[in-house]
Amino acid sequence: MKIVILSTSTHLYSTRRLVESAQARGHQVEVVDHLKCNLITEEQNPSVHYQGRALDDTDAVIPRIGASVTFYGSAVIRQFEMRHIFTAVQSQALLRSRDKLRSLQILARADLGLPKTVFTNYSREIDEIIDAVGGVPLVVKLLEGTQGLGVVLVENKKAAASVIEAFNGLKARIIVQEFISEAQGADIRALVVDGEVVGSMKRQAKDGEFRSNLHRGGTAEIINLSTEEKTAAIKAAECMGLGVAGVDMLQSNRGPLIIEVNSSPGLEGIEAATGSDIAAKIIQYLERNAGKKNTVADA
Protein backbone atom coordinates (compact mmCIF):
# COMPACT_ATOMS: atom_id res chain seq x y z
CA MET A 1 0.00 0.00 0.00
CA LYS A 2 1.23 3.52 -0.85
CA ILE A 3 0.61 5.88 2.09
CA VAL A 4 1.01 9.64 1.98
CA ILE A 5 1.54 11.45 5.28
CA LEU A 6 0.71 15.14 5.03
CA SER A 7 3.24 16.83 7.31
CA THR A 8 5.55 19.82 7.13
CA SER A 9 8.54 17.88 8.51
CA THR A 10 9.84 14.32 8.62
CA HIS A 11 11.54 15.14 11.92
CA LEU A 12 8.36 15.61 13.95
CA TYR A 13 7.88 12.75 16.42
CA SER A 14 4.39 11.77 15.28
CA THR A 15 5.35 11.85 11.60
CA ARG A 16 8.49 9.81 12.22
CA ARG A 17 6.61 7.17 14.22
CA LEU A 18 3.93 6.81 11.56
CA VAL A 19 6.61 6.33 8.90
CA GLU A 20 8.37 3.71 11.03
CA SER A 21 5.18 1.78 11.75
CA ALA A 22 4.03 1.84 8.13
CA GLN A 23 7.39 0.64 6.84
CA ALA A 24 7.54 -2.07 9.51
CA ARG A 25 4.24 -3.40 8.15
CA GLY A 26 5.58 -3.46 4.58
CA HIS A 27 4.01 -0.30 3.20
CA GLN A 28 5.54 2.37 0.98
CA VAL A 29 5.40 5.78 2.68
CA GLU A 30 5.98 9.32 1.47
CA VAL A 31 5.91 12.42 3.66
CA VAL A 32 4.39 15.27 1.67
CA ASP A 33 4.48 18.90 2.78
CA HIS A 34 0.87 19.91 2.16
CA LEU A 35 1.85 23.59 2.00
CA LYS A 36 3.91 22.83 -1.11
CA CYS A 37 1.18 20.92 -2.93
CA ASN A 38 -0.58 22.28 -6.00
CA LEU A 39 -4.22 21.34 -6.50
CA ILE A 40 -5.27 20.83 -10.11
CA THR A 41 -9.03 20.81 -10.51
CA GLU A 42 -10.73 19.88 -13.76
CA GLU A 43 -13.78 17.92 -14.74
CA GLN A 44 -13.47 14.24 -13.78
CA ASN A 45 -9.76 14.60 -13.00
CA PRO A 46 -8.88 16.38 -9.74
CA SER A 47 -5.26 15.82 -8.74
CA VAL A 48 -2.63 16.74 -6.18
CA HIS A 49 0.82 17.69 -7.48
CA TYR A 50 3.96 17.67 -5.36
CA GLN A 51 7.48 18.42 -6.52
CA GLY A 52 6.42 18.38 -10.14
CA ARG A 53 4.45 15.11 -10.16
CA ALA A 54 0.91 13.96 -9.53
CA LEU A 55 0.26 11.82 -6.44
CA ASP A 56 -2.19 9.63 -8.36
CA ASP A 57 -0.88 6.30 -7.09
CA THR A 58 -1.79 7.01 -3.43
CA ASP A 59 -3.85 4.39 -1.59
CA ALA A 60 -4.40 6.20 1.73
CA VAL A 61 -3.58 9.50 3.42
CA ILE A 62 -2.74 10.42 7.01
CA PRO A 63 -3.20 14.17 7.53
CA ARG A 64 -1.03 15.89 10.15
CA ILE A 65 -2.32 19.43 9.64
CA GLY A 66 -1.28 22.26 11.97
CA ALA A 67 -3.98 24.59 13.25
CA SER A 68 -2.46 27.65 11.58
CA VAL A 69 -2.78 26.10 8.10
CA THR A 70 -6.18 24.43 8.46
CA PHE A 71 -7.66 26.16 5.40
CA TYR A 72 -5.06 24.97 2.91
CA GLY A 73 -4.55 21.64 4.62
CA SER A 74 -8.25 20.82 4.43
CA ALA A 75 -8.25 21.75 0.73
CA VAL A 76 -5.44 19.26 0.07
CA ILE A 77 -7.31 16.51 1.95
CA ARG A 78 -10.48 17.32 0.01
CA GLN A 79 -8.61 16.94 -3.26
CA PHE A 80 -7.57 13.39 -2.30
CA GLU A 81 -11.17 12.68 -1.26
CA MET A 82 -12.34 13.81 -4.69
CA ARG A 83 -10.17 11.02 -6.09
CA HIS A 84 -11.89 8.56 -3.70
CA ILE A 85 -8.69 8.03 -1.71
CA PHE A 86 -9.23 7.09 1.92
CA THR A 87 -8.03 9.67 4.46
CA ALA A 88 -7.56 8.94 8.17
CA VAL A 89 -9.02 12.38 8.92
CA GLN A 90 -11.59 13.80 6.54
CA SER A 91 -11.55 17.41 5.41
CA GLN A 92 -14.92 18.33 6.91
CA ALA A 93 -14.09 16.60 10.20
CA LEU A 94 -10.85 18.58 10.37
CA LEU A 95 -12.73 21.84 9.84
CA ARG A 96 -15.32 20.93 12.47
CA SER A 97 -12.65 20.09 15.04
CA ARG A 98 -10.79 23.36 14.51
CA ASP A 99 -13.89 25.45 15.18
CA LYS A 100 -14.23 25.31 18.99
CA LEU A 101 -17.75 26.72 19.03
CA ARG A 102 -19.02 24.43 16.30
CA SER A 103 -17.40 21.46 18.05
CA LEU A 104 -19.15 22.27 21.32
CA GLN A 105 -22.48 22.63 19.54
CA ILE A 106 -22.04 19.22 17.89
CA LEU A 107 -21.02 17.60 21.18
CA ALA A 108 -23.95 19.18 23.02
CA ARG A 109 -26.34 17.93 20.34
CA ALA A 110 -25.00 14.43 21.02
CA ASP A 111 -25.86 14.83 24.74
CA LEU A 112 -22.23 14.61 25.85
CA GLY A 113 -21.15 16.25 29.10
CA LEU A 114 -19.56 19.68 28.67
CA PRO A 115 -18.49 22.54 30.94
CA LYS A 116 -21.09 25.33 30.87
CA THR A 117 -20.04 27.60 28.03
CA VAL A 118 -21.03 31.07 26.79
CA PHE A 119 -20.31 32.57 23.37
CA THR A 120 -21.51 36.04 22.48
CA ASN A 121 -21.11 38.66 19.80
CA TYR A 122 -18.92 40.95 21.92
CA SER A 123 -21.70 41.36 24.48
CA ARG A 124 -21.42 44.02 27.18
CA GLU A 125 -23.65 41.96 29.51
CA ILE A 126 -20.63 40.82 31.53
CA ASP A 127 -22.56 39.97 34.69
CA GLU A 128 -24.97 37.78 32.74
CA ILE A 129 -22.07 35.93 31.09
CA ILE A 130 -20.37 35.29 34.44
CA ASP A 131 -23.57 34.11 36.07
CA ALA A 132 -24.33 31.78 33.14
CA VAL A 133 -21.19 29.71 33.79
CA GLY A 134 -21.76 29.57 37.55
CA GLY A 135 -19.72 32.58 38.58
CA VAL A 136 -16.02 32.88 39.24
CA PRO A 137 -13.49 31.42 38.94
CA LEU A 138 -14.04 30.87 35.23
CA VAL A 139 -12.01 30.20 32.10
CA VAL A 140 -11.74 32.45 29.05
CA LYS A 141 -10.54 30.83 25.81
CA LEU A 142 -9.66 32.23 22.41
CA LEU A 143 -11.57 30.33 19.74
CA GLU A 144 -8.34 30.00 17.74
CA GLY A 145 -6.08 29.01 20.64
CA THR A 146 -4.09 25.73 20.66
CA GLN A 147 -1.87 23.85 23.12
CA GLY A 148 -3.12 25.98 26.00
CA LEU A 149 -2.33 29.31 24.34
CA GLY A 150 -5.08 31.92 24.67
CA VAL A 151 -6.55 30.24 27.77
CA VAL A 152 -6.94 32.36 30.92
CA LEU A 153 -8.16 31.38 34.39
CA VAL A 154 -9.92 34.33 36.01
CA GLU A 155 -10.28 34.26 39.80
CA ASN A 156 -12.66 37.14 40.56
CA LYS A 157 -15.49 39.09 38.99
CA LYS A 158 -13.58 42.32 38.45
CA ALA A 159 -10.75 40.51 36.69
CA ALA A 160 -13.27 38.54 34.61
CA ALA A 161 -14.90 41.74 33.42
CA SER A 162 -11.51 43.24 32.55
CA VAL A 163 -10.36 40.19 30.57
CA ILE A 164 -13.63 39.81 28.65
CA GLU A 165 -13.77 43.54 27.86
CA ALA A 166 -10.12 43.49 26.72
CA PHE A 167 -10.71 40.60 24.31
CA ASN A 168 -13.91 42.27 23.06
CA GLY A 169 -11.99 45.48 22.47
CA LEU A 170 -9.49 43.57 20.34
CA LYS A 171 -12.37 41.95 18.41
CA ALA A 172 -11.00 38.56 19.47
CA ARG A 173 -13.57 35.76 19.45
CA ILE A 174 -13.76 34.05 22.83
CA ILE A 175 -15.76 31.54 24.79
CA VAL A 176 -16.27 31.74 28.54
CA GLN A 177 -16.41 28.42 30.40
CA GLU A 178 -17.19 27.06 33.80
CA PHE A 179 -14.09 26.22 35.88
CA ILE A 180 -14.17 22.61 37.11
CA SER A 181 -12.36 22.88 40.43
CA GLU A 182 -12.60 19.18 41.31
CA ALA A 183 -10.43 18.33 38.27
CA GLN A 184 -7.54 19.81 40.30
CA GLY A 185 -5.53 20.96 37.30
CA ALA A 186 -5.68 17.59 35.53
CA ASP A 187 -7.38 16.30 32.42
CA ILE A 188 -7.59 13.05 30.47
CA ARG A 189 -6.50 12.50 26.88
CA ALA A 190 -8.08 9.46 25.25
CA LEU A 191 -6.72 8.46 21.85
CA VAL A 192 -9.53 7.01 19.72
CA VAL A 193 -8.83 5.12 16.50
CA ASP A 194 -11.65 3.64 14.43
CA GLY A 195 -14.14 3.70 17.28
CA GLU A 196 -11.81 2.22 19.91
CA VAL A 197 -9.82 3.82 22.73
CA VAL A 198 -6.26 2.65 22.00
CA GLY A 199 -4.52 4.64 24.73
CA SER A 200 -5.30 7.05 27.54
CA MET A 201 -3.30 9.24 29.89
CA LYS A 202 -3.93 11.66 32.72
CA ARG A 203 -2.14 14.99 32.35
CA GLN A 204 -1.37 17.00 35.46
CA ALA A 205 -0.56 20.71 35.39
CA LYS A 206 2.64 21.83 37.05
CA ASP A 207 2.46 23.75 40.34
CA GLY A 208 0.94 27.20 39.92
CA GLU A 209 -0.54 26.33 36.50
CA PHE A 210 -4.07 25.15 35.67
CA ARG A 211 -3.40 24.16 32.04
CA SER A 212 -2.33 20.53 31.88
CA ASN A 213 -0.91 20.62 28.33
CA LEU A 214 2.46 18.88 28.09
CA HIS A 215 3.69 21.88 26.07
CA ARG A 216 3.01 23.99 29.17
CA GLY A 217 5.14 21.79 31.42
CA GLY A 218 2.48 19.31 32.51
CA THR A 219 3.24 15.67 33.27
CA ALA A 220 1.46 12.55 32.08
CA GLU A 221 0.80 9.05 33.34
CA ILE A 222 -1.23 6.11 32.10
CA ILE A 223 -4.80 5.87 33.36
CA ASN A 224 -7.48 3.19 33.12
CA LEU A 225 -10.66 4.86 31.95
CA SER A 226 -14.04 4.09 33.45
CA THR A 227 -16.72 2.68 31.18
CA GLU A 228 -18.42 6.09 31.18
CA GLU A 229 -15.20 7.84 30.14
CA LYS A 230 -14.52 5.34 27.34
CA THR A 231 -18.06 5.69 26.06
CA ALA A 232 -17.84 9.49 26.11
CA ALA A 233 -14.52 9.51 24.22
CA ILE A 234 -15.74 7.13 21.52
CA LYS A 235 -19.04 8.99 21.10
CA ALA A 236 -17.23 12.35 20.88
CA ALA A 237 -14.94 11.11 18.10
CA GLU A 238 -17.88 9.54 16.29
CA CYS A 239 -20.13 12.59 16.35
CA MET A 240 -17.23 14.74 15.09
CA GLY A 241 -16.71 12.29 12.23
CA LEU A 242 -13.10 11.56 13.25
CA GLY A 243 -11.54 8.15 12.69
CA VAL A 244 -8.47 9.31 14.61
CA ALA A 245 -8.98 11.71 17.51
CA GLY A 246 -7.52 12.88 20.77
CA VAL A 247 -10.45 13.48 23.12
CA ASP A 248 -9.70 15.68 26.12
CA MET A 249 -11.94 15.33 29.17
CA LEU A 250 -12.21 16.62 32.71
CA GLN A 251 -13.23 14.40 35.60
CA SER A 252 -16.07 16.16 37.38
CA ASN A 253 -18.68 15.43 40.03
CA ARG A 254 -21.25 15.01 37.26
CA GLY A 255 -19.16 12.66 35.10
CA PRO A 256 -16.69 13.21 32.25
CA LEU A 257 -16.85 16.62 30.57
CA ILE A 258 -15.46 16.98 27.05
CA ILE A 259 -13.29 20.06 26.58
CA GLU A 260 -11.81 19.42 23.13
CA VAL A 261 -11.62 16.88 20.32
CA ASN A 262 -8.28 17.08 18.52
CA SER A 263 -8.04 15.92 14.91
CA SER A 264 -4.21 15.80 14.83
CA PRO A 265 -3.30 14.43 18.26
CA GLY A 266 0.39 14.18 19.03
CA LEU A 267 1.72 10.68 19.64
CA GLU A 268 4.82 11.40 21.71
CA GLY A 269 3.20 12.03 25.08
CA ILE A 270 0.66 9.23 24.92
CA GLU A 271 3.09 6.62 23.57
CA ALA A 272 5.55 7.53 26.34
CA ALA A 273 2.87 7.42 29.05
CA THR A 274 1.22 4.18 27.90
CA GLY A 275 4.09 2.29 26.30
CA SER A 276 1.71 1.46 23.45
CA ASP A 277 2.44 1.56 19.72
CA ILE A 278 -0.32 4.02 18.84
CA ALA A 279 1.19 4.70 15.41
CA ALA A 280 0.71 1.03 14.46
CA LYS A 281 -2.98 1.27 15.42
CA ILE A 282 -3.39 4.13 12.94
CA ILE A 283 -1.65 2.18 10.17
CA GLN A 284 -3.90 -0.81 10.87
CA TYR A 285 -6.89 1.52 10.54
CA LEU A 286 -5.71 2.44 7.05
CA GLU A 287 -5.19 -1.22 6.17
CA ARG A 288 -8.82 -1.98 7.04
CA ASN A 289 -10.18 0.95 5.03
CA ALA A 290 -7.87 1.67 2.08
CA GLY A 291 -9.92 1.52 -1.08
CA LYS A 292 -13.07 2.64 0.68
CA LYS A 293 -14.63 6.01 -0.04
CA ASN A 294 -14.98 8.43 2.88
CA THR A 295 -18.69 8.69 3.65
CA VAL A 296 -19.19 11.03 6.60
CA ALA A 297 -21.31 14.01 5.58
CA ASP A 298 -20.87 17.60 6.64
CA ALA A 299 -22.68 18.71 9.82
CATH of residue 129: 3.30.1490.20
Same domain, 161 and 146: yes
Query: Predicted confidence band at 254 (pLDDT cuts at 50, 70, 90)?
Result: very high
User: Does the residue 197 lie in any domain?
Assistant: yes
Q: Does residue 75 share a domain with residue 152?
A: no
Residue 47 has pLDDT above 70, yes or no: yes
pLDDT of the residue at 148: 56
Q: Report the CATH number that the domain containing residue 79 is assigned in CATH.
A: 3.40.50.20
Does residue 128 sit in the same domain as residue 223? no
pLDDT at residue 298 in the model: 47
pLDDT score of 185 = 86
pLDDT of residue 299: 42
For residue 102, tell me if it sits in a domain.
no
Looking at the structure of the chain, the number of domains it has is 3
Q: Is residue 232 part of a domain?
A: yes
Give the model's pLDDT for residue 2: 97
Domain extent for 55: 2-96
Residue 293 maps to a domain: no
pLDDT-derived band at 44 (thresholds 50, 70, 90) equals: confident
**Is pLDDT of 295 > 60?**
no
H/E element, 245: strand 244-252
Residues 186 and 281 in one domain: yes
- Same domain for 142 and 227, yes or no, is no
Helix axes 227-239, 100-109, angle to 10 degrees: 120
C-alpha separations of 176 from 69, 143, 253, 283 in Å: 25, 10, 20, 38
The reply to whether 187 and 233 lie within a common domain is yes
Q: What is the pLDDT of residue 134?
A: 95
Q: What is the pLDDT of residue 211?
A: 61
- The answer to whether residues 200 and 263 belong to one domain is yes
Tell whether 172 and 259 lie within a shared domain.
no
Among 23-32, 202-211, 274-283, the minimum mean pLDDT is found in 202-211
Q: 298 lies in a domain? A: no
pLDDT interval class at 65 (50, 70, 90): very high
Provide the pairing of β-strand 86-87 with 60-63. Answer: parallel
The per-residue pLDDT for range 166-221, each reduced to its tens digit, is 999 999 999 999 999 999 889 999 999 999 999 999 998 876 565 655 555 578 89
Choose one of 67, 96, 125: the last residue of a domain: 96
Q: Would 41 be classed as within a structural domain?
A: yes
Mean local confidence (pLDDT), 249-257: 97
Per-residue model confidence (pLDDT) at position 291: 79
Residue 107 lies in a domain: no
Q: Which of 163, 179, 195 is the last residue of a domain?
A: 179
| Per-residue DSSP letter, 226 | P
The verdict on 212 and 245 lying in the same domain is yes
> Can you give the pTM of this predicted structure?
0.91
Query: In CATH, what number is assigned to the domain containing residue 224?
Result: 3.30.470.20
- 268 shares a domain with 192: yes
Instruction: Starting at the earlier edge strand, list the strands of the sheet with 174-178.
Output: 117-118, 174-178, 138-142, 151-154
Residue 236 lies in a domain: yes
The pLDDT confidence band at residue 36, using thresholds 50, 70 and 90, is very high
Q: What is the pLDDT of residues 87-132, one digit of tens each?
A: 999 999 999 999 989 999 999 999 999 999 999 889 989 999 999 9
Question: Average pLDDT, stretch 272-281?
Answer: 96
- Statement to judge: residues 28 and 41 lie in one domain: yes
**Are 168 and 148 contained in the same domain?**
yes
Whole-number Å distance between alpha carbons of 25 and 28: 9
